[in-house]
Amino acid sequence: MQMKNSKGEVVAEQSVGITKDGSTISVNTMYDNGRTVVQNIGVRDTQGNVRSESILGGKLLP
């Protein structure tokens, strides 16, 4: 899902996916003037354990 400002520019993207083993991957990317500001990635496995990572100024996942 994309979030846009009043000018129609993409300011954020959010996506969620489920792997074959049942883990859930959540990715939230924020932009400023087309440049990636931060990307947050969260992974929850089938045991309920959560790992998260924030990447500043770039993207790890598309």
Spatial CA neighbour of 53 closest among 36, 62, 38, 40: 40
**In this predicted model, what pLDDT tens digit does every residue of 3-60 receive, in sequence order?**
999 999 999 999 999 999 999 999 999 999 999 999 999 999 999 999 999 999 988 8
Given a cut of 90, whether residue 62 has pLDDT beyond it is no
Strands (E), the chain: 2-4, 10-18, 24-32, 35-44, 50-56
